[in-house]
Amino acid sequence: MTAGGAPRPRAMRWRYAVWLAASVLFLLNFLRHGIDLFSIALTAIVVALGFAIEYVEMQTRRPQRNFLRVALASFALALVLIVMPLMMGAGLWIGLILWTALSGGALFWCFYYERTEPL
């Protein structure tokens, strides 16, 4: 970031490119499969997660940034390891165990990293 708090121009270009690519992919998905309640809810969750990631990266500082990164990654893992298998009719336990282990390990690493690394 610059002194005034505005993002750097290179970072702005990357953000715009990512949002444009995501918009095109969602539009193609809607054109191929149609619009239903599940796809609208999934799109809203992904867009909210994208805005949350952008906020964390642009507006927070260490150590809060690292803990928020772990929380967002844990949320994304929960979507992939717990919610998606449940939507497909698969079992819950393997995804729940993997999610707990990965999220716990990331949180443990974050505590260790923030305790040992200087600001």
pLDDT-derived band of residue 62, with 50, 70 and 90 as boundaries? confident
Give yes or no: residues 67 and 32 share one domain. Answer: no
pLDDT-derived band of residue 8, with 50, 70 and 90 as boundaries? low
Residues contacting 92, CB < 8 A, separation 6+: 82, 85, 86
Give yes or no: residues 101 and 75 share one domain. Answer: yes
Q: What is the pLDDT of residues 79-98, one digit of tens each?
A: 888 888 888 888 888 888 98
Q: Which amino acid is at 26?
A: F
Domain count for the chain: 2
pLDDT of residue 12: 65
**What element of type H or E holds 79?**
none
Name the 3-class secondary structure at 80: helix
Q: What is the pTM of this model?
A: 0.71
Range of the domain at 32: 1-59
Name the 3-class secondary structure at 6: coil
CA atoms within 13 A on the CB side of 16: 7
Q: What is the pLDDT of residues 11-20, one digit of tens each?
A: 666 777 777 8
